[in-house]
């Protein structure tokens, strides 16, 4: 991997080595994929206003989340079925987060179980991504297992009453390879993704039918009654929902459009971030995922009010190219790029970043 020096290098290599079924699942978005493209291009419309002649001889890129120090303001988002990318899957990804001293988030629909990941990376800060199922006992058991295994937070995905229409998966009639299972489940649920759907062709849509589409804000209050862990709501894109989340006392929101995989035409995560920070950032922590591929993206997100960012696909590309070492290198690249962006922009620490250091390109339109 010595010739891979940026996220795009890893992405290009992963595109060559991943099987088409897995590659299209990981890289695709919903519908015409306009939001997928916009997740990245929206960052290019933001411009950094660097400050000069500041003492940046010593730099510290660490931050604190829920009272716990992390070495970089970059964690790993939940992504499903990682053993399609590498035999060690989620376990390798968690070990990379452990090595870097940052947060790993395990997907409910992982190919490594809650307990396997906990054993593989006992020192990692681990969060568990959760769906609320029609069968509430399934949800209760997942929460209990995550607590018992030492996970530090629950990340409830709230933008998925069911899975969006991803045309690539429909064309491919996506199925999880038969040698893999959804490791957090038993019986028919464990193998539901191994079969194509009779309606959409993609096996993931039948899995999504197990989620409770009647979910409401009352269910957030219910979830709080069955766990002692802080709750992060993932999938918030509006100020209105951010304020409702704060009213219910959740610990944080993760501004996210689900990697542009739910409904096409939503804003890029970075576009939605400012209104959410302005509405509720003083009442809860605000994180962001979607479109982060470079250290300058991290700087821009933090300037606009994110406490921390999370990456999904970049970690998958690292996993595909080199297992835990590949993900560790991806995180190291992002750390280096962010440290350079931080220092050259006139900041020594994350706390030095100011909101007026990043503006929309229209700020300069008078030129």
Give yes or no for a contact between 327 and 92, defined as CB atoms under 8 angstroms apart.
yes
> To 10 degrees, what angle do helices 295-303 and 313-344 make?
70
Instruction: Write down the residue that tokens 């899995």 correspond to.
Output: 207
Is 258 known to be catalytic?
yes
285-289/308-311 β-pairing: parallel
Catalytic residue of the set 86, 179, 258, 360: 258
Give yes or no for a contact between 129 and 75, defined as CB atoms under 8 angstroms apart.
no
Give yes or no for a contact between 159 and 165, defined as CB atoms under 8 angstroms apart.
no
Q: What are the distances in angstroms from CA 315 to CA 22, 111, 203, 240?
A: 15, 16, 24, 31
Taking the C-alpha atoms of residue 291 and residue 310, their distance in angstroms, rounded to an integer, is 10
3-class state of residue 157 by DSSP: strand
Nearest one of 127, 28, 24 to 85, comparing CA atoms: 24
Beta bridge partners of 64: 69
**Residue environment code for 315-353, b if the CB has 16+ CB neighbours within 10 A, otherwise e:** bbbbbbbbbbbbbbbbbebbbebbbebbbebbbbebebb
Taking the C-alpha atoms of residue 176 and residue 206, their distance in angstroms, rounded to an integer, is 12
| Active centre residues (catalytic) | 258
């Amino acid at each position: 991997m010595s010739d891979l020096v940026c996220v795009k290098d890893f992405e290009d290599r992963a595109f060559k080595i991943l099987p088409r079924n897995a590659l299209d699942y990981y890289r695709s978005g919903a519908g015409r994929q306009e939001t997928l493209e916009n997740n990245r291009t929206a960052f290019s419309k933001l411009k950094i206003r660097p400050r000069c002649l500041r003492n940046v001889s010593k730099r510290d890129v660490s931050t604190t989340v829920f009272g716990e120090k992390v070495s970089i303001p970059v964690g790993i988002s939940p992504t499903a079925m990682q053993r399609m990318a590498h035999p060690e899957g989620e376990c390798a990804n968690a070990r990379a987060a452990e090595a870097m001293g940052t947060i790993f988030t395990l997907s409910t629909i992982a190919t490594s179980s809650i307990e396997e990941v906990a054993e593989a990376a006992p020192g990692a800060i681990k969060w568990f991504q959760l769906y609320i199922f029609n069968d509430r006992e399934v949800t209760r058991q997942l929460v209990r297992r995550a607590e018992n295994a030492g996970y530090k937070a629950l990340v409830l995905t709230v933008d998925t009453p069911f899975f969006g229409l991803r045309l690539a998966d429909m064309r491919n009639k996506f199925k999880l390879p038969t040698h893999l299972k959804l490791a957090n489940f038993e019986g028919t649920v464990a193998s539901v993704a191994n079969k194509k759907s009779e309606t959409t062709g993609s096996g993931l849509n039948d899995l999504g039918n197990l989620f409770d589409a009647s979910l409401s804000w009352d269910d957030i209050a219910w979830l709080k009654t069955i766990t002692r862990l802080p709750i992060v709501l993932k999938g918030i894109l509006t100020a209105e929902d951010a304020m409702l989340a704060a009213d219910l006392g959740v610990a944080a929101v993760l501004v996210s459009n689900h990697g542009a995989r739910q409904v096409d035409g939503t804003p890029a995560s970075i576009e939605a971030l400012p209104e959410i920070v302005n509405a509720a950032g003083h009442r809860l922590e605000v994180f962001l995922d979607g479109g982060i591929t470079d250290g300058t993206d991290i700087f821009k997100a933090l300037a606009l009010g994110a406490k921390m960012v999370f990456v999904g696909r970049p970690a998958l590309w690292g996993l595909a190219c080199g297992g835990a070492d590949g993900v560790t290198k991806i995180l190291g690249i992002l750390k280096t790029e962010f440290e350079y962006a931080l220092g050259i922009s006139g900041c020594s620490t994350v706390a030095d970043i100011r909101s007026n250091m990043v503006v929309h390109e229209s700020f300069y339109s008078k030129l």
